Structure 1
Amino acid sequence: MPEPATIVIKAHPQAIKQVRDFAALVFGDWGLEDHIARTVVTELATNAIKHGSAEGDPVVVRVYRREDGCPVLEAWDRSDALPVARPFDLTRESGRGLLLMGALVRRWGTRPLAERGKVVFAELEPTRAPD
């Protein structure tokens, strides 16, 4: 298996476009459709920046394929606080991203980092890009 594609950004909202473009490039190299990947990596990186980091902290985003071909997106941050998918509420202006992401992916979850912090990951369907 090839090494994961990795980008390290500084925790700042302006870095989200960079992460989206990174995921699109990797999925394009694999010949896979990237629009769900761009949506999911936006949610992962936004949460890492907004809830898991102080401004300017490093946030690591990795993209790789498991042996079965399933693409995986990850965002690493320094917070031990776990993400919480809140119940759907039309009166809230935010807080629906994890519910949306959960509907788009095979599975998502978290795992702790040994040096402090966590990884939030999402496993996607490997959908071929149109020719």
Structure 2
Amino acid sequence: MCEPRAVVLKAHPESIKKARDFVVDAISPWGIDPDVAALVISELATNAIVHAEGDTIIVRAARNVDASVSLETWDKDPRRGPAVRRADLDDTAGRGLFLVESLVRSWGVRPLADDAGKVVFAILDPD
């Protein structure tokens, strides 16, 4: 794995664009579709900001040894992470992780030690 890049952002809706811009810049030399990466991190960051407790989130990007890329959001909320749900046609929200799941190799949630929060991650393959 190459040296991961990370940024701490306020848990505020304006930070979603900052998360996108950060990730697109971080992954630019790694052969990952920037539009896919931007969409994925937008959904992960939105979930962390809207649903998790805490005043900051961490957004992290790392290139793995197999040339895939890990995108992560870290938050301070130890509660179980997000789950894919099937939204009804007239729902105005709830499709984000369904979309993420269709674009990435895998995604998941892992707890941080001592109930300090959780990491939600997605693994993207190079083009």
TM-score bracket relative to the smaller structure:
over 0.9
Contact kept in structure 1, 2:24 and 2:37, CA below 8 Å:
yes
Q: Aligned pairs, how many?
A: 125
| Range 44-53 or range 26-35, more displaced | 26-35
Contact kept in structure 1, 2:30 and 2:63, CA below 8 Å:
no
Shift in Å, 1:29: 3.0
Please give the TM-score of this superposition, normalised by the length of structure 2. 0.92
Cα distance between partner residues in 2 of 1:70 and 1:32: 8
Cα distance between partner residues in 2 of 1:105 and 1:2: 20
CA deviation digits over 1:13-72, x for unaligned, max 9? 001111100011012133432110000000010000000134xx1100100011111111
Cα distance between partner residues in 1 of 2:42 and 2:74: 13
Cα distance between partner residues in 2 of 1:31 and 1:122: 16
- 1:58 and 2:42 matched: no
Contact kept in structure 1, 2:6 and 2:59, CA below 8 Å:
yes
- 1:117 and 2:117 matched: yes
Partner of 2:105: 106
- The unaligned stretches of length 5 or more in structure 2 are none
| Range 61-70 or range 30-39, more displaced | 30-39
Which residue identity lines up with residue 98 of structure 2 in the other structure? L
Cα distance between partner residues in 2 of 1:109 and 1:70: 15
Partner of 1:67: 65
Contact kept in structure 1, 2:31 and 2:126, CA below 8 Å:
no
Equivalences for residues 23-38 of structure 1 within 5 A: 23-38=23-38
Shift in Å, 1:85: 1.1
Please give the TM-score of this superposition, normalised by the length of structure 1. 0.90
Cα distance between partner residues in 2 of 1:96 and 1:36: 15
| Range 57-66 or range 76-85, more displaced | 76-85
Q: Which runs of 4+ in 1 moved over 4 A?
A: none
Cα distance between partner residues in 2 of 1:24 and 1:88: 28
- The unaligned stretches of length 5 or more in structure 1 are none
Contact kept in structure 2, 1:52 and 1:81, CA below 8 Å:
no
Shift in Å, 1:89: 1.2
Cα distance between partner residues in 2 of 1:82 and 1:21: 24
